Structures are given as C-alpha cells and as structure tokens.
Amino acid sequence: MSESKDTNEEDILAINTIRTLAMDAVQAANSGHPGTPMALAPVAYCLWQRYLRFDPKDCIWPNRDRFVLSNGHASMLLYSLLHLTGVQAVNEKYESVGEPSVTLDDIKKFRQLESKCPGHPEYRWTSGIETTTGPLGQGVSNSVGMAIGSRWMSSYFNRPGFDMIDYNVYAICGDGDMMEGVSSEAASIAGHLKLSNLCWIYDNNHITIEGSTDLAFTEDIASRFLGYGWNVLRVGDANDLHLLSEAFETFHKTSDRPTFIIVDSHIGWGSPHKQGTSAAHGEPLGEEEIRLTKKNYGWPEDAKFLVPDEVQETFNKGIGKRGRTLREGWMEQFDRYKQEYPELADHLYKMQHRQLPDGFDQDFKPYPADPVGMATRTSNGEVLNVLAKNYPWLMGGAADLAPSTKTHLKFEGAGDFEPGSYNGRNFHFGIREHAMASILNGLSLSKVRPFGAGFFIFSDYCRPSIRLSALMEIPVVYLFTHDSIGVGEDGPTHQPVEQLASLRAIPGLTTIRPCDANEVLEAWKHIAEQKHEPVVMVLTRQNVPTLDRTKYGSAEGLHKGAYVLADCEGTPELIFIGTGSEVSLCLNAYEELTKEGVKCRVVSMPSWELFEKQDENYRNSVLPPNVTARISVEQASTFGWERYVGLQGRSIGMHTFGASAPLKELLKKYGFTPENLVKEAKDLLQVTYK
C-alpha cells in the first residue's frame, strides 16, 4: 500500500487486518466478494477511525453518525470493522447484552447458517448494522431517508444550547448502486432538499461481475451529480489517507448541498497480477493468491484470521475514545434537557424506543352509518390527520399524488418539508415511487414513523423496498389508493389486478383492504401499535357505504383479520367472503338470499395476515370447516383465494386485466353485481347440496 504523508504504521496494520480478514473469511466460506473490502479498507478505516461519531459500546446512541455499506456484497468490510472496533450487541429491548456484536468465530463462519456474518449485512440480525443492503441502490436511497430524519429531528428537538440531534450520514457505494435507477431518484431528491448532512463515497473501480464497466456504463458520473446539485469531490487513490481526510473535511464544511466523493480504487488490491479482475470481485482468491497478497502486505503468509493485539487498541484510541466522549457528553446533555424540556425529552425517548405518545388516539371517533358513505381514501385521510395531530413523529407524503390519495396533513403546524425548512411533516417525493419507498425505510430506521402514498398500481414500483421493510421488520406504512378496476376509464394501465396477491406473498408484511370508514379507523388503531411490522393499506377511489354497525358486526373485528359481518340463525348454508368495496356487494346479495330463505353469512376479511395469526378455534368460528359452499368476492386476481373457499368454493374476481369504461359497465362486465352473486350462490348451493 502506498503511504500518504499522514499514514503511520498503526494505520497500515489496521488496514491490512481488515483486508486479510476479508480474504480469509471469503476463502473459508468458499463464497463471497473479497476484492471490494480489500480495495475500500483504507477508505472505511479513515472514515471510522478519524471522523465517524459512533460509540462501539453503545451502537444505538441516538445522535450517532450513520454508516451505510450500500454495496452490501462487500459485507466483510463492515463485519471486520464491527469486530475490530469492539461493537457491543444489543437486544430487541435496546439493552446491551454484554457481548460483542461480531466475534472472530462469527467471521470464521461467514455466510454460514446462523452466523452473525451473513452474505449481505442484515439489520436486526447483527448490531451495528444500520440497514439491510443486498439489492444495489437500496442502501444509498435509505441513507437519504436517514439524512431527512436527522434534519427533521433537529428542527423538532433542538433548542438553544441543546443540539440533541445533528448526526451525519455516510454511505459507501459502487458502480452497481449508480446503475440502479432507485439511486438516481434518491440522489435527485437529496440534491433538491440540499441535505448537507449526507455524504456518498463512490468506489470508482471500473469493474462489475461481467467485466469492465465500459461494457455498459460510460457516463460522466461527476457531471451527473453536479446536475443533481451535489458537491462533487475526487480522491485519485483509495489508499491516500491524507486526500481522503481532506475530502471528509470538505464535506463537514459544506452547508448547502450533499457531498459525493469519487474514490478511484483497484479492486482486489494486493498481488499486482490479480488487481482489477472479476475473480477478485465475485469469488474467493484461492490459497496461493492469498499467500502472495499477504506477502505483498508484509503479513505472515500462512496466518489465518490474524488480528494483532495492537489493532484493536488502535481503534480504541481513535473511534472508541472519540465515540465514548461524544456519547457521554450527549447523555449528560440529555439529563439537562429532561429538566428544561420534559415533554420533548419524553418524545425523544418514546420515539427512539418505538413507543406511542400519550393520548395518540384521544380524538378518534366512529363514523355514523351512511348508505352513500365515502371513499376509503377519504376516510383514511381524515383518520390520518386526526392521528398525526397527536403523534408528532408520524409523517410522510406521496409520489406527487397527495391530492388524489388524500394523504396531505392539513392541521395547523403540519407544514411542508422543504429545502432549508426542515420542520414540516409533509414530504413531496415527486414522481419517484421507488425512491419514496426506500427513503421511507431510511426514515423508519431513524425511528421516525413514516407513511408513503400512491396509486395501488404503482406499488409495483415500490415493491423491492416494501420487501425490505418486511425483511428488516420496520413499521413503515404504505397507503395505496385507486385499488381496483374501480378506476374505470383510466383503463388497465391504472387498474391493479395482481398486486394484492403479490403483496400478500411477502412474509412479514400486513396487507389491509378496509371495507368502510370504520374499518379504516380500526386499521389505524392496529397500525399505530406496530413496532416491527410494515403495513400496506389498500383504499378505494369510489364511495363505499359506511355500514350500520348496530345491524352488522363491529368493525373492531378488523384486528382479527376477518370477522362475521352478517349472519343467519344456526349453521349457514353459504358464506360470502369479501374485502374492501366488495363487502357491501356481498351484503346486498346476502339480503336478497336471506329474503329467499337461504341461510347466508358474510365475512369481511380485510387482512389475510391478521386472520392467519388467530388461533384455530377463532378461524373455524368464522369459516366453519363443515360449510364448504363459499364464495370470495374481490376485484383482483383470484390467486390464493382457494385457501379460504376450498376446492368446492368459487372466487369472483379478475382473470384478465381490466378495461377502459365507466365503473358501472366494468362491474357488470366482470360480474361484480348483486344479481351475479345471487346467481353464483344458487348455482353453488345446487352443486353442493344436490
């Protein structure tokens, strides 16, 4: 490694320890990417050792700087740092468990079952990891949300003499991150918002799995980020700690825009003949190459997983001492803050522990019955505003669709989050659905409670980030309106058909499609209580009746996912199962069949996932196993409904894409009428009980 004027033997030893741990771990696993961690070791070392405000003994200290390894395939870079700096593990209750986050044995089990060092960094799995970074582009986009979170919290919590929140966010990224579209969306909005607390460090190594980036990526990346409104810097050698330090110092001095540092590196830096090859990027180096590389470092050639004692002491004198001093000073300040601003201190504590503010639900009121009713997007907007007024860190926005999704926060003081004015709670994401969802994840990881809105059809653009919300178990709220062919004249490009089935397939994600205003209200009661579960709420554009709950089952049944809405005496002959706008349709058919003497039941099933969490006795009480004549009704793909209607039941749904026509014509064309439901019911009863 070439030495810059402020590089000493301690630095070189620490950097080479990071490198050799990476190559040894990948070789032991016979799987992984050693090249990028080796090339970026000096960059990460310089940042962590000299600049990162982070206490390894308390890795969830609220005002710590955030570090995101967006090119997550280089995970051994992060695992090495977590081990060498002595990061301590915390549990789900935010308590230290008195053991290291990453031990040397964990590194030796890199990519193995139950190891704390999986193939890509996983949030909640390994303490000290700020976000899950596997899909490229997601990490840098999350970092924008983290930076927004810092800016909003600064405006809300900071008072004269009390800078409680002012952390910076650093993200290391690579060519893959730059090629993925989500990073472009996120960089654009970060530049617009002038997030000067955000720094991306771009590993410009000219190599991807297929070979040289010249195959597919020849744009002027510096000009691109200048166009986004970023401050662009360049470090010509990833090994030059002096130039790296100058770049980080410039970032700290920049107050009007985010910073993009282009760092030129050679992947797999070590044995000269191996540099820049795809083998070093995507597969183990091999024992012989490792020996040659270690020899080049002046390292014992046959030593494996060697961590010289003085390396951990070096980190303790740098990031350890600095982080400890900063955290202890912050905790002392927080004690004074509690005396001066007890309500804000209480909010900060509750927010960091994902607790609800006192009285968050004090203004909730049930909706009276109304045969005309309102669209669930409208009732959702009303409930959201009532809740957010008493829930100061609940905030969000839409992908340029707030007027249509009805998700704008309108109460006094809500305001807009804008460049240089960071106290607003309404975000304008522009037409950037994917970045919106990824930014929401970053906000949630900062402990803000975020929501994002759009048309349901465009949930496809959000899906990769929604999946990561579920994977990380963070309580992001996604609000999607225009939920069915009820969009009408807009036609099949805007009519979601397969999206419900697709989202229901994501483990750990709760999907709720409420049937009226009171189910919307109950849905928000459920959502507010969640600490580790993302929720998708699917809402209508068209009006739906507000059901008479003195006549039909209580909307509180939503909390169990499905409940008996209308029933008969004794055992029913037939059960209708509906969601959303189709529930009132089921009730119409139920009333007609009841007049004709048919014993019917209507089940509202707003959430499959919540229903599946109930015990067997409850599930059987709603859907008795001996009642096999069942009909599901939903303006979406019927895929999956067989689990509830059984082999003998029927599903009235969509088997094609929609069409462009007035709503009434579409409902008739696709069979969503009381007359068709009655016909299907009679046919099914004839088959079932003949």
Q: Specify whether the CB–CB gap between 302 and 291 falls below 8 A.
A: yes
Q: Return d(Cα 36, Cα 360) in angstroms, integer.
A: 47
Query: Which of 268, 191, 269 shows the shortest CA–CA distance to 225?
Result: 191
Question: Taking the mean position of all CA atoms in its chain, how far away is CA 441?
Answer: 3
Decide: residue 159, CB within 10 A, 0-12 exposed, 13-18 middle, 19+ buried.
exposed
**Closest listed residue to residue 245, CA positions, set 45, 26, 94:** 45
Q: Sign (positive/negative) of CA torsion 123, 127, 129, 130?
A: positive
Residue 6 CB neighbour total at 10 angstroms: 14
Q: Looking at 446-541, list the stretches that DSSP marks H as alpha helix, in order from N- to C-terminal side.
A: 459-472, 499-504, 517-529
What whole-number distance in Å separates Cα of residue 360 and Cα of residue 520? Answer: 16
Identity at 56, one-letter amino acid code: P
Distances (CA, A) of 191 to 424, 512, 570: 18, 35, 64
Surface-to-core class of residue 661, CB atoms within 10 Å of its CB (0-12 exposed, 13-18 middle, 19+ buried): middle
Residues 631 and 575: beta-carbon distance below 8 Å:
yes
Beta carbons of 528 and 360 less than 8 angstroms apart? yes
Distances (CA, A) of 591 to 311, 547, 678: 77, 14, 10
CB 50 within 8 A of CB 244: no
Q: Are 565 and 553 in contact (CB under 8 A)?
A: yes
Reply yes or no on whether 433 is catalytic: yes
CB 622 within 8 A of CB 557: no
How does DSSP assign 82-144, residue by residue? Answer: HHHTTPEEE-TTS-EEEEESS-HHHHHTTTSTT-SS-SS--TTTSTT--S---STTHHHHHHH
Q: C-alpha 544: how far from its chain's center?
A: 31
The per-residue DSSP string of 348-393 comes to: HHHHHTTPPPTTTTTT--PPPPEEEEEEHHHHHHHHHHHHHHT-TT
Q: Which of 433, 582, 634, 680 is catalytic?
A: 433
Amino acid at 279: A
Residue ranges of alpha helices (H) inside 158-267 are 175-179, 181-193, 221-228, 241-253
From residue 658, alpha-carbon distances to 48, 273, 480, 488 in Å are 54, 58, 18, 9
420 backbone φψ class: left, alpha, beta (φ>0; ψ -120 to 50):
left
What is the set of active-site residues? Answer: 433
